[in-house]
Amino acid sequence: MMKRLLSTLALAGACGLAAFGAQAQTKPAKLDQIKAKGFIQCGVSQGLPGFSTPDDKGNWTGLDVDFCRAVAAAVFGDVTKVKFTPLSAKDRFTALQSGDIDVLSRNTTWTISRDTSLGLNFTGVTYYDGQGFMIRKDKKVTSAMELSGASVCTQTGTTTEQNLADFFRANNMTYEVIAFATNDEVVKAYDAGRCDVLTTDRSGLAGERLKLTNPDDHIVLPEIISKEPLGPVVAHGDDQWFDIVKWVLFAQLTAEELGVTSKNVDEQLKSSANPEVKRLLGTEGKFGEGMGIGNDWGYQIVKTVGNYGEMYDRNVGPDTPLKLARGVNALWNKGGLQYAPPIR
Amino acid sequence: MSDLVEPAIGRSKTSFINDPKVRSIGLQLIALVLVVFLGWMFVDNARQNLAAQKIATGFGFLDNTAGFGISQTLVPYSETSTYGRAFLVGLLNTLLVAVVGIFFATIIGFFVGIGRLSKNFVVRLLSTIYVEVIRNLPPLFQILFWYLAVLSAMPSPRQSINLLGEVFISNRGIIVPRPVFEAGTGYVLWSFGAALLVVIVLHYWSRERRAETGRGLPMLPIGLGLMILVPFIAMAITGFPISLERPELKGFNFVGGVRVIPEFVALTVALATYTGAFIAENVRAGIQSVSHGQTEAAHSLGLRNGHTLRLVVIPQAMRVIIPPLTSQYLNLTKNSSLAVGIGYPDLVAVFAGTTLNQTGQAIEIIAITMGVYLVLSIITSVIMNVYNKRVALVER
């Protein structure tokens, strides 16, 4: 609450004070501000395994976290020049609007209302997701269509609440929703038996399940009730910064498509004759300069964070506790949806 | 003589600009203009910059469809209702917690406060332990305790605890039968109203009689008896028009009956016990402020202990109790916003939470929410101040 109030005050303050000396046009570009302060402030979740979660030493790991590191690699050539701000679902947009954070990488669903009325820009989709339900095995439910009358726990300030309402309404079923401010509270209440069902994005369910007392007592129902394209977000009004964040992801996807990984990138840099690889790694063309960053931006991203596939496998893939198959998140030429415009 | 004194009292010979009165008014005017100008500039700049960032502004969003569910609604609400309706639902939920919480906190505080001064060692000790433990723990922690610790100890709906075959307690809340009103209910309500009227008249008559003769009527048994007996006879005559709809276990949850959600129970219990501990201290201080001589004087007039407390000590103690009691009531109302921690759909959770997130209009929504708490607090203060004036010592 305090944090939200502060953010709101900061937003009101930033908006109120920005025009004191001069009009908004003279505000320095985001990239220059970031270069001046020397790090990127990245908004992440308060702990969602696989996407952004801190370990006991305070080191953050996850897909969303790695994406921010990739942006830092592109801008500074140094993955450590990023600081993380844990945000609840309801505080995240205010933090971005007020300029507390430079980029929001927090399993955030791209919707029209968020894109058009909050003063935000979604830069792409790092994970194609859909909303699902988790339930105790001993309830003997095998389909979401049997959930009429159920109590459902969810997190407030997410698209989840509305999808849930739509799903039950469309299927003429009754339900009771209990919405909590943070993920941890949702999991605790579900674990305590306050509700029959926990609902969030399916990738989130895989992560939350690990936090339960007995993860094996719970199953995720097969139905996917919504489209949840999750991606990074930046504030309106700075196209250069928007471009950089957008192309970091495209570079990672392009690298995977071309078979450039963090292990073979040095070799590829020296010996590859493929012009596409050369453009990605910055030995041909001046694409980095066009964005105001180093021409080796692509090399730095792949060298330090890796391509999209590596990032996926490391954080949420089949070999991690989340065990999420690539599915729709595979590259376009492998039957998935991930597709990057060409680097040329 | 008078010629010498006159000029000193009248106009001073100093110039207009050095006149202290003119100066102070002038300075205050300048300060006022500055504050108003700063405020205006702040609002104007915020509007300009929000427009520049293409963030939606204005209060039009209140008419948009909310599209989310709320677990406790005192007025009809569905997913197709507007954000304005959701605001009303949240506001009423906040008021419900505040009113019920204040009611129980006052009762707890009153009894524990008197218990702190009891001659009985055990009562005194228990009251002291209660006050010292409860008021020294943070309220959010207590709310979480009542919610998570007590909730996880509760059985699932299928194994729910059954009281008297009618009330079911489970981790879904407390489910009681819903009264169903059929034709003839009106007579019962009328008879209840009539009984209430008779009791009030009797009460005043008894007071007058006691003032004249020193003998009142035993009002408690008479009042209770009338209030229960008369409606019961009316019900019997009209053939018991009020029936009960019993809750039934169907699928996941109980169907039918009235359900009190666990979030409400946890929040109200936590706030009532927490604030009750502070009120107890106010009550104790108030009673101790009445000098012991008053009690002795009352005893020597032949008043018994109960009467001494009720007629002599408490009316005087109230003068000391009321002002701090007001701020405890305000605290309870404001602390009810801690509901977000346990998912109780109060104003902060529904409006400053979900609605804010879906519409993104932080400045408007936070302003409305702060305005609501301000108005609630001021209304409470005004009511308590009026009451305070009535019990205050009338100086003659």
Q: Where are the domains of chain B?
A: 2-51, 83-153+262-391
> Residue B103 pLDDT > 90, yes or no?
yes
For residue A249, give every residue at least 6 positions away whose Cβ sits within 8 Å of its Cβ, in sequence order, or none: A67, A70, A123, A124, A126, A231, A232, A308, A340
Q: Which residues of B touch A191 (CB under 8 A)?
A: 152
**Among A5, A114, A156, beta carbon nearest to B354:** A156
C-alpha span between A97 and A32 (Å, rounded): 18
Give residue A18's pLDDT band: very low, low, confident or very high (50, 70, 90): very low
Q: Where are the domains of chain A?
A: 28-128+229-334, 131-226
Axis-axis angle for helices A239-258, A30-37 (nearest 10): 80
CATH code for the part of the protein at B83-153+262-391: 1.10.3720.10
**Among A17, A117, A157, beta carbon nearest to B354:** A157
> Residue A176 pLDDT > 70, yes or no?
yes
- pLDDT tens per residue across span A217-247: 999 998 899 999 999 999 988 999 999 999 9
C-alpha span between B295 and B313 (Å, rounded): 7
Q: Which of B233, B248, B242 is nearest to B179 (CA)?
A: B242
- pLDDT tens per residue across span B200-243: 888 888 888 888 887 777 777 888 888 888 878 887 877 777 77
- CB contact under 8 Å between A20 and B360, yes or no, is no
For residue B173, give the chain A residue with the closest CA.
Answer: A194
- CB contact under 8 Å between B45 and A18, yes or no, is yes
- Collapsing DSSP states into helix, strand and coil, what is residue B343? coil
- Residue B37 corresponds to which tokens in the numbers above? 């100008």
- CB contact under 8 Å between A14 and B48, yes or no, is no
Amino acid letter, residue B98 = A
- CB contact under 8 Å between B48 and A158, yes or no, is no
What is the reported pLDDT for A269? 93
Helix (H) or strand (E) holding A68, with range, is helix A63-76
Cα–Cα–Cα angle for B248, B252, B256, rounded to 5 degrees: 30
C-alpha span between A63 and A312 (Å, rounded): 7
DSSP result, B108-140: HHHHHHHHTT-SSHHHHHHHHHHHHHHTTS-HH
- A 10 A CB-CB count for A128 gives 18
Mean of the per-residue pLDDT values for chain B?
86
Domains A28-128+229-334 and A131-226 share a fold: yes
Q: State how far the alpha carbon of A170 is from the alpha carbons of A164, B70, B355, B386, in Å.
A: 10, 17, 22, 53
Q: Which residues of A touch B362 (CB under 8 A)?
A: 7-8, 11, 94, 97
What is the reported pLDDT for A19? 44
> Residue A129 pLDDT > 80, yes or no?
yes
Q: What is the four-CA torsion angle of B154, B156, B158, B162, rounded to 10 degrees?
A: 20
Amino acid letter, residue A60 = W
The better pLDDT of the pair A327, A22 is held by A327
For residue A180, give the chain B residue with the closest CA.
Answer: B343
Average pLDDT value for residue range A92-99? 89
- CB contact under 8 Å between A179 and B53, yes or no, is no
Q: Which residues of A touch B359 (CB under 8 A)?
A: 117
- A 10 A CB-CB count for B44 gives 12
Cα distance from B152 to chain A (closest Cα, Å)?
5
Q: Which residues of A touch B262 (CB under 8 A)?
A: 194
Cα distance from A138 to chain B (closest Cα, Å)?
12
- pLDDT tens per residue across span A160-169: 888 999 999 9
- Residue A259 corresponds to which tokens in the numbers above? 């078979």
**Among B49, B340, B356, beta carbon nearest to A18:** B49
Please, where are the H alpha helices in chain B?
2-9, 20-52, 83-115, 121-134, 139-144, 150-153, 185-213, 219-238, 262-289, 292-300, 305-307, 314-335, 347-349, 356-359, 362-391
Please, where are the H alpha helices in B214-313?
219-238, 262-289, 292-300, 305-307
CATH T-level assignment (fold) for domain A28-128+229-334: D-Maltodextrin-Binding Protein; domain 2 (3.40.190)
- CB contact under 8 Å between B357 and A166, yes or no, is no
Q: What is the pTM of this model?
A: 0.78
Axis-axis angle for helices A30-37, A63-76 (nearest 10): 90
Beta-carbon contacts below 8 Å between A and B: 165
CA distance from start to end of chain B: 40
Give residue A184's pLDDT band: very low, low, confident or very high (50, 70, 90): confident
CB contact burial B124-137 (16+ within 10 A = b; e otherwise):
eeebeebbeebbee
For residue B337, give the chain A residue with the closest CA.
Answer: A1
For residue B65, give the chain A residue with the closest CA.
Answer: A162
- CB contact under 8 Å between A5 and B366, yes or no, is yes
Amino acid letter, residue B170 = S
For residue B81, give the chain A residue with the closest CA.
Answer: A165
- A 10 A CB-CB count for B250 gives 12
Q: Which of A246, A245, A268, A244 is nearest to A256 (CA)?
A: A268
CATH T-level assignment (fold) for domain A131-226: D-Maltodextrin-Binding Protein; domain 2 (3.40.190)
